[in-house]
Structure 1
Amino acid sequence: MNRHRAHSRRTVRQHLGAPCADVQLCVTELLANVVRHVGEGTPVRVRVARTDGGRTRVEVTDPDPHALPVLVCATGEDESGRGLALLDAVALRWGVERGVEGKTVWCELGEV
């Protein structure tokens, strides 16, 4: 998984052509959620694009419309549950869109 995260971060930076730590964090956390809650090897589609308003939109689509992300309050003793809290802290907004072929979890960030 660490190798995949590093590859994802490099790919996002190359795509945007600029330092983009928050965008990279969001991509890797959304991908980690798919692996953890849907399964490793699940086919995903990652989309990173600039919007007309100058924001950056990150979308991760997977085939399971039922495994929805839930923002939880992780305590110091919890071993998981912080990924969406990190995403929630750095993104301007985020959400989930369910479709017939799965779901897309997305977030929008300010200018990179």
Structure 2
Amino acid sequence: MNSLPVLELDLLAFPKAVPDLRHAIRRRLGEPCDDVQLCVTELVGNVVRHVGEGTPVRVRVMRAGEGRIRVEVADPDPRALPVLLCATGDDESGRGLALLDAVALRWGVEQGAAGKTVWCELGEVR
């Protein structure tokens, strides 16, 4: 990816960090960006739930060309991979990646020796 980050933050994955992260994204993009904020919230939330609170993460948001925005959330655990589930009305979890899948043009995971990066690309910022 050759694009320069609009936002790049290293933080610890705690639920209380998410509101400040959402505000930082809004400030840096300078326009309504509900879908970008939703994707970052879901990806950081997955780290909290599946890797653990306090996990160090790197969050990157960048313009990826052709009007797209790319969101990346990297963490040090290469094993806890996201899985798109089919949640029912009674399920209390399992909807996060379904939401991300619905708003993103595409998404995926890149694994490496130092962990993994879950990414998504969105079209027009909304």
| TM-score interval for Structure 1 and Structure 2 normalised by the shorter chain | over 0.9
Equivalent in 85, 91, 97 of residue 78 of structure 1: 91
TM-score, reference length from structure 2:
0.86
Aligned partner (choices 77, 81, 104) of residue 68 of structure 1 = 81
Q: Give 1:6 deviation, angstroms.
A: 1.1
Deviation at 1:15, TM superposition (A): 1.3
Question: Could you say if the C-alpha distance between residues 98 and 11 of structure 1 is closer, same or farther in structure 2, counting changes exceeding 3 Å?
Answer: same
- Residue 2 of structure 1 deviates from its aligned partner by 4.9
Query: Residue 27 of structure 1: CA displacement?
Result: 0.2
Greater per-residue strand proportion = 2
CA drift at 1:3: 3.1
Runs of 4+ in 1 over 4 A off after TM superposition: none
Q: Which residue in 2 is equivalent to 1:58? A: 71
Aligned to 1:12, what secondary structure does the other structure show? helix
TM-score for both structures, normalised by structure 1: 0.96
- The Cα of 1:52 is off from its aligned counterpart by 2.1
Query: In the alignment, is the contact (CA less than 8 A) between 2:109 and 2:119 conserved in 1?
Result: yes
User: Match for residue 33 of structure 1?
Assistant: 46
Q: Which runs of 5+ in 1 are unaligned?
A: none
Q: Deviations over 1:27-80 (max 9, x none)?
A: 000000000000000000000000122200000000000000000001111110
Give the partner amino acid of 1:15. R
Which letter maps to 2:123? G
**Aligned Cα RMSD in Å?**
1.0
> How many aligned residue pairs are there?
112
Letter matched to residue 69 of structure 1: P
Letter of the 1:99 counterpart:
G
Residue segments in structure 2 that go unaligned for 5+ positions in a row: 1-13
Aligned to 2:117: 104
| Aligned-partner Cα distance in 1 for 2:16–2:78 | 27
Match of 1:4 among 8, 17, 26: 17
> What's the counterpart of residue 6 of structure 2?
none
**Is residue 2:90 matched to residue 1:87?**
no
Letter in 1 for 2:64: T
